[in-house]
Chains A and B, each alone.
Chain A
Amino acid sequence: MRDAMPASYCTLDHDGCVVCADAGIPVRVVSVEGDDALCEDAAGNRAQIAVELVAPVGTGEVLLTHGGVAIGRVAAQEEDSQ
């Protein structure tokens, strides 16, 4: 796993357009701190993500983030079955 990024910078990456378009990155919640959560992407990058729009969230849940904000969740049953 790479070093944790400074939490105030959001640098989760994924191939595709990371800046503005229809990109969503699945990340796992490491810890929740109020309206934000520390999340980790598949490559081990960590960043602070705003989670108001999917609240309440718990540790270990998989969220879909876009530009530093969680916009959805990835359903657990399907994630394991595919």
Chain B
Amino acid sequence: MKYVDEFRNGALARAVAAEIASVTDPQRHYKVMEVCGGHTHTIYRHGIKDLLPDQVELVHGPGCPVCVLPMGRVDEGIEIAERPEVIFTCFGDMMRVPGSKGNLLEVKAEGADIRMVYSPLDALRIARENPDREVVFYAIGFETTAPSTALTLQRAKKEGLRNFSVFCNHVTIVPPVRALLDSPDLRLDGFIGPGHVSTVIGCRPYEFMPHDYGKPCVVAGFEPLDLLQSVLMLMRQLGEGRCEVENQYGRAVPWEGNLQALKAMAEVFELRPYFEWRGLGFIAQSALKLSPAYTDFDAEVRYTTPGVRVADPKACQCGEVLKGVLKPPECKVFGTACTPERPLGALMVSSEGACAAYYNFGRKSFEKVEIGSRP
């Protein structure tokens, strides 16, 4: 399969793994964070961890938008979905994220008109087909997804659709990474940057990592070889004492990003002064809301959501896992009170959530993990 097979070649992967081993200092322990949930998924699915030397530890970052959504925002979405005039549309994974009183799937079972869509453009189509109903789209995601919401809103405005609105929960990737770097309980050696976010925002936004924090960053693609090569590039930087942003995923990531997409986002969105992240707390300028030009399409304005704050369940340790302080199986309820079938925390819901990825694919390595054995 073109674009896929060449990045899953086993012999090549072993050759890159051998090279990684050859540049690894056996006296040193390396902690590398993959920011993006898509990378976490690839790492477990393809057993990348088993190919790396023991000295190289991969830490999972906050890059799964479902997982970082605070409970209050889930509850507010549910409140809108329960209104009789509303057709509520959202991505599939969103349906199972637990709010304080259940999830969207349960509300749907009780009769709310909630529909799963693959694209915000599908929500727009539903609005066109149901002029007597109010169609709300639950927008969620990083800069990969934000352009599709922006484009959908631009089309809605052009068409003059009045029964369509967006409950905007888009977040941005740089502020949480900065917050992690500022947090004292985490010592990292470098970052694997998110590939598809970077297709949109380019590589420049990561320059603060080497400049302000002295941490190298390699923007990586999503196939197993992409990831291995990125680890190699990082290890080489560390070995040679270099510290810069490098782009492993050049075939899809232009250094400047996608200017057309950024322009659409700039027209439709503006930065929120602050936004709550599950496990990370409030982070300044870390999320998007609709710009004044799009207020008519803003579900938060249309339905005056109160902005409630709901604390996570006590047993849940998603925050520590999100910050990379704990590994998923080190959470007290992992695999017992919290499983993909009955998730307690959001990290168990999405296939990109670190806990779900660990649960589904990481069992082998999971058995090997000695809890608390790593520095």
Question: Is A46 on the interface with B (CB-CB < 8 A)?
Answer: no
Question: Is A32 on the interface with B (CB-CB < 8 A)?
Answer: no
Given A11-B118, A72-B252, A21-B350 contact (CB < 8 Å): yes
**Chain B positions 27-61 with a Cβ under 8 Å from a chain A Cβ:** 36-39, 41-42, 45
Verify B118–A17 contact, CB threshold 8 A. no
Verify A53–B141 contact, CB threshold 8 A. no
**Chain B positions 139-179 with a Cβ under 8 Å from a chain A Cβ:** 140-142, 144-145, 147-148, 151-152, 154-155
State which of B182-190, B230-238, B258-266, B288-296 sits at the interface with chain A: B258-266
A9 to chain B, nearest CB (A): 7
**Size class of A's contact patch?**
35 or more
Given A22-B142, A53-B260, A82-B251, A10-B119 contact (CB < 8 Å): yes
> Closest residue of chain A to B141, judged by CB?
A20
Verify B251–A66 contact, CB threshold 8 A. no
Question: Is A61 on the interface with B (CB-CB < 8 A)?
Answer: no
Q: Which residues of B contact A62 (CB under 8 A)?
A: 3
Docked complex Cα distance between A53 and B155 (Å)? 12
State which of B101-109, B194-202, B365-373 sits at the interface with chain A: B194-202
Verify A54–B148 contact, CB threshold 8 A. no
Verify A54–B196 contact, CB threshold 8 A. no
Q: Which residues of B contact A72 (CB under 8 A)?
A: 196, 199-200, 252-254, 258, 261
Docked complex Cα distance between A21 and B252 (Å)? 17
Please give the residue numbers on chain B whose beta carbons come within 8 Å of chain A beta carbons, in ascending order: 1-4, 6-7, 36-39, 41-42, 45, 63-66, 91-94, 118-122, 125, 140-142, 144-145, 147-148, 151-152, 154-155, 194-197, 199-200, 222, 250-254, 258, 260-261, 264, 350-352
Q: Taking A16-B352, A52-B264, A71-B199 as given, write out 18 further A-B residue pairs in contact, using a Cβ cutoff of 8 Å, ordered by the A residue number.
A: A8-B125, A19-B92, A21-B36, A21-B66, A22-B36, A22-B144, A22-B196, A24-B252, A66-B144, A68-B148, A69-B151, A71-B196, A72-B253, A74-B3, A75-B250, A78-B251, A79-B3, A79-B251
